[in-house]
């Protein structure tokens, strides 16, 4: 690929942003490739085998599972979003398609989303002002779509101090703004 292709992040800059306010840290992640992976009707067996061979985890409903090269979270029955390192897997569809062949429908989703990793102590106090999910009682590895700032956002709880958000890329600035003002309100 021509080196002249300069990429812009969801926030519209050449490099990803990090915002630190008090104990909270919001990191824009620009280094993750994403693809949706859906099992074709009646292809379960081949699909599972291909996933195993490629090392693509297939977590259960509302779960995220980290793998070596590929990680994934459940989005809807029979569909996952697969994560991989962007530097090595920019064309993530081409990386998955040969393995899954006709057992899966695979669609590039990398730039459909803006990703923010939100970390720090006191995430419950922050997120209780942003989403109706009960972050305090959710298990680590929980992943679900929810509404934040009117936007459909995937929320993944990695631990009590680290949450990943995938929001619509076109509203990256609005989502970050919501995070920032809410952080200030709970400080």
Partner 1 sequence: MSQSNRISGGQIDRSKTFRFTFDGHTYTGHPGDTLASALLANGVRLMGRSFKYHRPRGPISAGSEEPNALVHLRSGARQEPNTRATVAELFDGLEATSQNAWPSLKLDAMAINDRLNSFFTAGFYYKTFMWPAAFWEKVYEPIIRRAAGLGALSKEEDPDEYDKGFLHCDLLVIGAGPAGLMAALTAGRAGARVVLADEDFRMGGRLNAETHEVGGQAGADWAAGVVAELAAMSNVRLMTRTTIVGAFDHGIYSAVERVSDHLAVPMAGKPRQTLWRIYSKRAILAGGATERPIAFENNDRPGIMLAGALRAYANRWGVAAGDRVAVFTNNDDGLRTAKDLQAKGVDVAAVIDSREGGDLLPGIRHLQGTQVIDSSGGLGLKSVTVRLANGKTETISCTALGVSGGWNPNVNITSHHRSRPEWREDIAAFVPGTGGPAGLTAAGAANGALSTHGALLTGQAQAIAALTDLGLTAKAANLPKAEDAPIAISPLWYVHEGKGRAWIDQQNDVTVKDVKLAHKENFTSVEHLKRYTTLGMATDQGKTGNVLGIAVMAELTGQSIPATGTTIYRPPYTPVAMGTLAGRSRGKEFKPFRLTPSHKWAAEQGAIFVEVGNWLRTQWVPKPGETTWRESVDREVLATRRLVGICDVTTLGKIDIQGTDAGAFLDKVYANTFSTLAVGKCRYGLMLREDGMVFDDGTTARMGEHEFVMTTTTANAVTVFRHLEYCRQCLWPDMDVQIISTTEAWAQFSVAGPNARKLLQKIVDQDISDAAFPYMGAGNITVQGLRGRLFRISFSGELAYEIAVPTRYGDAMIRKLMEAGAEFDAIVYGTEALGVMRIEKGHVAGGELNGQSTALNMGLGKMVSKKKDSIGMVLSQREGMNQPDGYRLVGVKPVDPKATISAGSHFMEIGAPVELASDGGWLTSKVYSPHLGSDIALGYLKAGDQKIGRRMRAVNFLTKTDTEVEIVSPHFFDPEGERLRG
Partner 2 sequence: MIINHPILGPRDAQEFVYLGDANLINRPDGMTAGIEVFHDYLYNRDNPAGEHRELWYHEQGDRSWLVVTRNTVTHEILKVEMARDVAKAQGRSK
Residues forming the site for partner 2 (CB under 8 A): 61-62, 74-77, 132, 144-147, 152
Work out how close the CB of 149 gets to partner 2 at its nearest, in angstroms, rounded to a whole number: 12
Instruction: Kindly list the distances between the CA atom of residue 6 and the CA atoms of 13, 14, 95, 106, in Å, as whole numbers in the listed order.
Output: 10, 8, 22, 26
**Residue 53 or 129 with smaller CB distance to partner 2:** 129
Select the binding partner of residue 103 from partner 1, partner 2, none (C-beta < 5 to 8 A, by kind). Answer: none
Distance of CA 90 to the CA centre of its chain: 15
Select the binding partner of residue 144 from partner 2, partner 1, none (C-beta < 5 to 8 A, by kind). Answer: partner 2
Select the binding partner of residue 25 from partner 1, partner 2, none (C-beta < 5 to 8 A, by kind). Answer: none
Work out how close the CB of 116 gets to partner 1 at its nearest, in angstroms, rounded to a whole number: 14
Determine if 19 is a binding residue for partner 1 (CB under 8 A).
no
Select the binding partner of residue 6 from partner 2, partner 1, none (C-beta < 5 to 8 A, by kind). Answer: partner 1
Among residues 161, 163, 165, which one has the least CA distance to residue 176? 165
Retrieve residue 133's tokens: 């999910």
The set of residues, in sequence order, having a beta carbon less than 8 Å from that of 126 and lying 6+ positions away, is 24, 118, 120, 179, 182, 183, 186
Between 103 and 142, how does the x/- string for binding to partner 1 read (CB under 8 A)?
Answer: --xxxxxxxxx--------------xx-xxxx-xx-----
Work out how close the CB of 85 gets to partner 2 at its nearest, in angstroms, rounded to a whole number: 27
| Strand-strand pairing, 162-168 and 142-148 | unpaired
The set of residues, in sequence order, having a beta carbon less than 8 Å from that of 161 and lying 6+ positions away, is 119, 120, 121, 123
What SS3 string covers 47-71? HHHHHHHHCCCCCCCCEEECCCCCE
Binding site for partner 1 (CB under 8 A): 1-2, 4-9, 12, 30, 36, 38, 40-42, 78-79, 91, 102, 105-113, 128-129, 131-134, 136-137, 149-151, 168-175, 177-178, 181-182, 184-185, 187
């Amino acid at each position: 690929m021509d080196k002249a292709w300069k990429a812009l992040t969801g926030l519209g800059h050449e490099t990803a942003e990090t915002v630190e306010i008090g104990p909270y840290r919001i990191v824009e992640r620009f280094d993750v490739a994403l693809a949706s992976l859906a099992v074709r009707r009646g292809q379960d067996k081949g699909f599972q085998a291909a996933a195993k061979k490629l090392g693509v985890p297939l977590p259960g409903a509302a779960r995220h599972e980290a793998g070596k090269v590929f990680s994934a979270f459940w989005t809807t029955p029979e569909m996952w979003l697969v994560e991989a390192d962007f530097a090595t897997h920019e064309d993530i569809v081409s990386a998955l398609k040969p393995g899954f062949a006709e057992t899966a429908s695979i669609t590039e989703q990398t730039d459909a989303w803006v990703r923010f990793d939100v970390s720090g102590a006191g995430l419950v106090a922050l997120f209780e002002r942003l989403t109706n999910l009960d972050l305090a009682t959710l298990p680590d590895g929980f992943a679900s779509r929810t509404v934040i700032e009117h936007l459909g956002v995937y929320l993944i709880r990695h631990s009590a101090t680290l949450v990943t958000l995938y929001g619509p890329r076109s509203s990256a600035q609005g989502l970050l703004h919501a995070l920032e003002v809410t952080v200030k309100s709970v400080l």
